[in-house]
Amino acid sequence: MKYMLLIYLDEHALSETEREQCYAESVQLAQDLSSTGQYLDASPLHLTSMATSVRVRKGKRLVTDGPFAETREQLGGYFLINAKDLDEAIGIAARVPVGRMGTVEVRPVMEIGGLPAPESSKGQAPTESGQAPRSSGQAGLPTG
């Protein structure tokens, strides 16, 4: 089953050195998960100052700079993984470096038919597990 690990933290809590260390640890975790067939994707997000929120109300598009809501922790990145069950997904979430200072939310991904294959896997043969090949991504923290 696919799980999304949503990584939250105060985006200003880390020094540049701490951020780089978390990137390195996140890349290592992604490599470890890839070697067991559990890695699907991962990526950090830019700071919320780079965000744009879009809402449509009564047919009108409302675009505002910044995140939709002010919160203590911000969405900083994600891992998309394969896990046999929630317990295994929680075990992987506990290995995400930012979990030591922020929060890792674990959510099962709903699989619905009719969605196109990811661009990175178009034209490529499925792996032994029947999955599209894994993409390579950086993981876990906001950039900036």
Model confidence over 18-66: pLDDT tens digits? 999 999 999 999 999 999 999 999 999 999 889 998 999 999 999 998 7
Q: Which domains does the chain have, with CATH numbers?
A: 2-111 (3.30.70.1060)
* Cβ–Cβ < 8 Å for 14, 22: yes
Give the pTM: 0.78
Higher pLDDT, 140 or 1: 1
Q: How confident is the model at residue 117 (pLDDT cuts 50, 70, 90)?
A: confident
Give pLDDT, residue 123: 58
Q: What is the mean pLDDT of residues 1-11?
A: 96
Beta strands in the chain (DSSP E): 2-9, 39-44, 52-57, 60-65, 74-82, 103-108
Query: What's the rounded Cα separation, in Å, for the pair 98 and 25?
Result: 10
98 has a pLDDT exceeding 80: yes
Average of per-residue pLDDT values in the chain: 85
Query: What's the rounded Cα separation, in Å, for the pair 39 and 112?
Result: 20
Please report, rounded to a whole number, the percentage of residues in the chain having pLDDT higher than 70: 81
96 has a pLDDT exceeding 90: yes
What phi and psi values does residue 74 have, to the nearest 5 degrees?
A: -115, 155
Give pLDDT, residue 71: 77
2 has a pLDDT exceeding 70: yes
Q: How confident is the model at residue 130 (pLDDT cuts 50, 70, 90)?
A: very low
